[in-house]
Structure 1
Amino acid sequence: MSKGNGPLNQLRTFWTKKKFELAPSVDKSTDQGGDAHICAVHLAHEPFTFKITIERKSCAKSKSGKGTIRIFMAPRFDEKGRRLHLKEQRRLMFKLDSFQAKLRVGRNIITRRSHDSSLTKPWTKSLRDYEHADPTGAADFCGCGYPQHLYIPKGNTKGMPFDLFVMVTNYDEDHVPNHPKDLEIPETCNSPYIFCGLPKRRYPDARPMGYPWDRPPYKTPIPCLPGHSFASTICKSFNIVFFKPIDSLEQFVARAPNMKSIVFDIKHIDKLIGHHQQERRSYWETTSMEQA
Structure 2
Amino acid sequence: MNLILNVVVAICALICVFPFAFVVILSFTDEKSLAYHGYRLIPEKWSTYAYEYLFQNGSQLLRSYGVTITVTVVGTVLSLLVIALYAYGISRSSFKYRSFFSFLALFTMLFNGGLVPTFIVVTQVLHLKDTLWALILPMAMNAFYIMIMRTFFKGLPDGIIESGKIDGASEFQIFARIVLPLSLPGLATIGLFCTLGYWNDWFNALLYIDNPDLVPLQSMLMRIESSMAFILQNAKNSGLGSVAASLPQETSRMAMVVLATGPIVLAYPFFQRFFIQGLTVGSLKE
TM-score range, shorter chain: under 0.3
TM-score when normalising by structure 2: 0.24
Q: Which structure has the higher relative contact order (CA within 8 Å, separation 6+)?
A: 1
Q: Which has the higher strand share?
A: 1
Q: Which has the higher helix share?
A: 2
